[in-house]
Structure 1
Amino acid sequence: MIRIVALLPFVVLAFVSLAQAAETQKPNILFLFSDDQSYETTGYSGMTQAQTPNLDQLAKRSMSFTHAYNQGSWSGAVCVASRTMLNTGRFVWHANDVYKTAEKEREAGRFWSEYMKNAGYRTYMTGKWHVPANAAKAFDVTGHIRGGMPKQTPEGYNRPKNADDTQWQPWDKKFGGFWEGGKHWSEVVGDEAVGFLEEAAHDDTPFFMYIAFNAPHDPRQSPQEFVEMYPAHEVDVPEDFLPEYPEHKEIGCPPGLRDEHLAPFPRTELAVQVHRQEYFAIITHMDQQIGRILAALEASGKADQTYVIFTSDHGLACGHHGLMGKQNSYDHSIRVPLLIAGPGIESGENDAAVYLQDVMPTTLELAQVRKPEHVEFASLLPLIHGEKTESYDAIYNCYLDRQRSITDDGFKLMVYPKANRVKLFDLTNDPMEMQDLSADRAHSEKKQQLFVTLQQWQAKVGDTLELDAQLGK
């Protein structure tokens, strides 16, 4: 007995040492999050004129998920729904159920950052939050916490009416917005993220960084040199350009909707070119800040032990289909870039349909956290390592009670309950979603199949909206 008791301190120390070693073996997580960035607006995608040299370099060493989606929104502020889903891990209507009590969810530990804290991570956040939970308590360390979008001004709407309408300029600081406080908000995010990494270089505790840019949300402001990279008259007008979307009122996107009010009705090619010029410019400016952050990660000596994830909360029409906002179910507005790089990740592309919110359970798995029962999104790691080829049998999307869509097997069915109609697109042959096949008898069986799948997904996500069965026939 005396020998055993004498050995006990050494046994305890051994277990403590093993536990500490396990903690240090956990990888760091750097999560980079943009706002309103469509999947097509990266240089590496080659789909638009947007230049993103730093994201392009990241993509070269990442697994790029080419079909990553947002699940929709119960609110005109699509950002709110997307970020609530991300931080709670719940599907859209289940996230809506806890939205108003999000702070209680956080206090109960059912929040992304709280799980990371409990796993031994030092957690950090700067930038856009837009979730009704206390960010200062959700993370160990915070920089600037921005509620939602930067302030717009009357001059920022319904423009440009003509080529001489230059009253509002993205670099003019008198309009506030991203310039409020004296320094562009993207640069502030860059500064604060770099500062945290400089501190982390001297700390062996694994870190979880939630770096959330407000860019490229409107007001799409950036320094003049970035705007001048994209002369408006040289900006491509999307092939699917329309002066006006036929069902804009029925789908909840009338001229009075804030996002749609940014450009004049009917749309003009000039207005679309100017808005896309400003969109690309603020993306390139944000990309510069991402480059600074990635350089600081390298300088910290932590890069080899860090997973870097980049995505956006949803996309944006910005001139596609006669629309300006993200309150629609076209791919330009629900599909986002998604990159993940880090130890053991082979670079390449994966075309499996996933949700952007899958990054939450992915990081929990990396942090050796058992997936909580309420988390409904799926880790990306089995897809990355070839353990499975799909996470979902279809992609569901919603907007208020005005729109529903389901994407499966290369086709998308959109349902407009208030317009009493559906639209069907063959995404393989018509990726711009311009040829509605819903009235084509050759595709009637596909329409019916998709309608049934949509109803099944309504049950999965807690969607109680009743759809007229005649719409699927």
Structure 2
Amino acid sequence: MKEKNTKKLSHGRPSHVNPSPRKPNVVFLIADDHRGEAIGAFGNETVQTPVLDSLAASGTSCRNTHIFGGLSGAVCAPSRACVHTGIPIFRATIGKDMMNREHSSVIHPDVRVMPQTMQSAGYLTHAIGKWHNDKASFARSFEGGDKLAFRGMSEHTKVPVHDYDVTGAYPKEQEYVEHTFSTELFTDAAVNFIEDYEGDRPFFLYVAYTAPHDPRTAPEPYASMYDKSGIPLPPNFVREHPFDTGDMTVRDEKLAGWPRDEDEIRGHIADYYAMISHMDAQIGRVIEALKAKGIYDDTLIVYTADHGLAVGQHGLMGKQNLYEHSVRIPLIFRGPGVPEGKQELALASNIDIFPTVAGLCGVDLPEETEGISLCPIFAGEVGSVRGIVGSVYRDVQRMVTDGRWKLIRYYRSPETNTGTERIQLFDLLSDPWETQDLSAELANAGVIERLASELASWMQASGDILQEKPVIPAAPLA
């Protein structure tokens, strides 16, 4: 393996664009597996996230942002494709069928992605950390980079990375292993970039962490920060999920024993929070570097994640489901043009992130972008930009919510012979933890019919290849 690279990072190939000094710099931070509620400022009284709390206090948090979903168990790759493109997964990526793993990771070559668009608008684009989509889309997006991880996951102290490759090839033989803890490794590279920044063009710095994804092995003192005996179990903890969701034995679900043990789940939550708190502190280093450079107030900071995670909720461990813990993500904007101290509850999708970044930076969107900018909400012009949001998982689950009512439709997969033909209905206003399925109550028949129609329309508009199937059974199943 190649030895650790300690040289100063290179900006790579030159870009023949005009500088745009009036545009804000952008630091785009994306975590792996950080669910939307696991931030202190959002009401979680156990996890410690002072840096993210500060960003939320000085910016705007979009608290009702959902992922579009994905067509494979590795939800992070399709979710990142949606963030990068602002387009539903069915049109953002290539592939032939629902179970084709490639369909969820390889971005269509004709689609212009967020960093590529920012570069065309005069930005210096630089990437650090995990990409997890195809190398061709990466190569056309970034002028430079450091500690680039193209794999889905690894041990946090054995991270396979590449140096920036001006050819865009990134051959296997040029990959080497770094032993600095991943979160610190990527933060070191981000701080180096900020310190070396010369300021002739605004920059778009993409920093993609692999935390808090398992293996959840935070370094000390964070590993000992949370005593599992003091960790409260979530209200929706159950020892076993009541029916087959269609992916009950995927890798993530094997991280804890069946049926779920309360003490074991508390340990998993403690480790999960330790990873988040460590990452929070490292993000603080990025912010301090911006302040030391004198560019903090001229920089738009965006924090989000590729998806959430169950970690014991509903008897599940992973993200291969459409409950709120897995489809709702954190989304914080802080910087020029962003109101301070606001927590917005308007519905949003992760395909809306790219249009919002572009709007805050005064950058024109590609014609093919389908997401909706949240800037009108920030400006107080409208209260919402979406009436509903939906999400998909493989060929076994679909979801739609109007912000209060939420319908999950389950299918039995003809490919894997798994799953259950049924629905669930939740009132998120009175039951945010999704503990009471109301689908069998006759009084809710009208709500189910309305949401079923909304889901069918959303699936058709999104290009969902399950759209020809009936959305719900003839009657709700208990």
Question: Quick check: 1:359 aligned with 2:353?
Answer: yes
Whole-Å separation in 1 of the counterparts to 2:474 and 2:294: 56
Larger Rg: 1
**Alpha carbons of 1:376 and 1:79: their partners in 2 closer, same or farther (altered >3 Å)?**
same
Question: Quick check: 1:392 aligned with 2:392?
Answer: no
Q: Deviations over 1:358-389 (max 9, x none)?
A: 22112222343322221111112111111222
Percentage of matched positions with identical amino acids:
37
Whole-Å separation in 2 of the counterparts to 1:382 and 1:193: 31
Whole-Å separation in 2 of the counterparts to 1:147 and 1:389: 38
Question: Quick check: 1:228 aligned with 2:228?
Answer: no
**Alpha carbons of 1:104 and 1:350: their partners in 2 closer, same or farther (altered >3 Å)?**
closer
Whole-Å separation in 2 of the counterparts to 1:440 and 1:136: 53
SS of 2:201's partner is: coil
Whole-Å separation in 2 of the counterparts to 1:238 and 1:371: 41
Question: Quick check: 1:315 aligned with 2:308?
Answer: yes
Partner in structure 1 of residue 292 of structure 2:
299
Partner in structure 2 of residue 113 of structure 1:
115
For residue 369 of structure 1, what is the amino acid of its counterpart? Answer: V
Structure 1 segment 185-264 matched on structure 2, within 5 A: 185-200=182-197, 202-248=198-244, 251-255=245-249, 257-264=250-257
Whole-Å separation in 2 of the counterparts to 1:136 and 1:391: 33
CA root-mean-square deviation:
2.2
Question: Quick check: 1:82 aligned with 2:79?
Answer: yes
Deviation at residue 213 of structure 1 after TM alignment? 0.4
Deviation at residue 48 of structure 1 after TM alignment? 4.5
User: Could you tell me which of 144, 149, 153 is aligned with 1:146?
Assistant: 149
SS of 1:421's partner is: strand
Whole-Å separation in 1 of the counterparts to 2:111 and 2:459: 28
TM-score, length of structure 1 as denominator length: 0.86
Whole-Å separation in 2 of the counterparts to 1:143 and 1:43: 31
For structure 1, list consecutive stretches of 5 or more residues without a partner in the other structure.
1-18, 153-169
SS of 2:326's partner is: helix
Whole-Å separation in 2 of the counterparts to 1:140 and 1:239: 47
Q: Deviations over 1:407-427 (max 9, x none)?
A: 015000011122111010000
Partner in structure 2 of residue 16 of structure 1:
none
Q: Given that residues 252 and 318 in structure 2 are in contact (C-alpha distance below 8 angstroms), is that contact kept between their aligned partners in structure 1?
A: yes
Whole-Å separation in 2 of the counterparts to 1:365 and 1:65: 16
**Alpha carbons of 1:150 and 1:464: their partners in 2 closer, same or farther (altered >3 Å)?**
closer
Deviation at residue 472 of structure 1 after TM alignment? 6.2
SS of 1:392's partner is: coil
Q: Given that residues 347 and 385 in structure 2 are in contact (C-alpha distance below 8 angstroms), is that contact kept between their aligned partners in structure 1?
A: yes
Structure 1 segment 333-344 matched on structure 2, within 5 A: 333-344=326-337
Partner in structure 1 of residue 409 of structure 2:
415
Question: Quick check: 1:33 aligned with 2:30?
Answer: yes
Whole-Å separation in 1 of the counterparts to 2:259 and 2:159: 26
For residue 357 of structure 1, what is the amino acid of its counterpart? Answer: I
Q: Deviations over 1:181-236 (max 9, x none)?
A: 22101001110000000112x32210001110000111111113112110111111
Q: Given that residues 178 and 221 in structure 1 are in contact (C-alpha distance below 8 angstroms), is that contact kept between their aligned partners in structure 2?
A: no
Whole-Å separation in 2 of the counterparts to 1:276 and 1:72: 23
**Alpha carbons of 1:417 and 1:113: their partners in 2 closer, same or farther (altered >3 Å)?**
same
Partner in structure 2 of residue 370 of structure 1:
364
SS of 1:25's partner is: coil
Q: Deviations over 1:235-282 (max 9, x none)?
A: 11111111111223xx22323x10001111111001111111110001
Whole-Å separation in 2 of the counterparts to 1:270 and 1:381: 44
Deviation at residue 100 of structure 1 after TM alignment? 5.7
Question: Quick check: 1:270 aligned with 2:263?
Answer: yes
For residue 292 of structure 1, what is the amino acid of its counterpart? Answer: R
Whole-Å separation in 1 of the counterparts to 2:471 and 2:51: 48
Deviation at residue 150 of structure 1 after TM alignment? 3.2
Partner in structure 2 of residue 426 of structure 1:
427
TM-score, length of structure 2 as denominator length: 0.85
SS of 1:233's partner is: helix
For structure 2, list consecutive stretches of 5 or more residues without a partner in the other structure.
1-16, 96-101, 162-176, 413-419
Q: Deviations over 1:104-134 (max 9, x none)?
A: 845x571211111111110011011000133
For residue 269 of structure 2, what is the amino acid of its counterpart? Answer: R
Whole-Å separation in 1 of the counterparts to 2:45 and 2:457: 35
Whole-Å separation in 2 of the counterparts to 1:279 and 1:114: 33
Partner in structure 2 of residue 56 of structure 1:
53
Partner in structure 2 of residue 445 of structure 1:
446
Deviation at residue 464 of structure 1 after TM alignment? 2.0
Q: Given that residues 149 and 217 in structure 1 are in contact (C-alpha distance below 8 angstroms), is that contact kept between their aligned partners in structure 2?
A: no
SS of 2:40's partner is: coil
Q: Deviations over 1:54-82 (max 9, x none)?
A: 11111110111110110111111000110
SS of 2:41's partner is: coil
Partner in structure 2 of residue 155 of structure 1:
none
Whole-Å separation in 2 of the counterparts to 1:79 and 1:207: 25
Q: Given that residues 403 and 428 in structure 2 are in contact (C-alpha distance below 8 angstroms), is that contact kept between their aligned partners in structure 1?
A: no
Partner in structure 1 of residue 11 of structure 2:
none
Q: Deviations over 1:392-434 (max 9, x none)?
A: 2211111011001110150000111221110100000000000
Partner in structure 2 of residue 327 of structure 1:
320
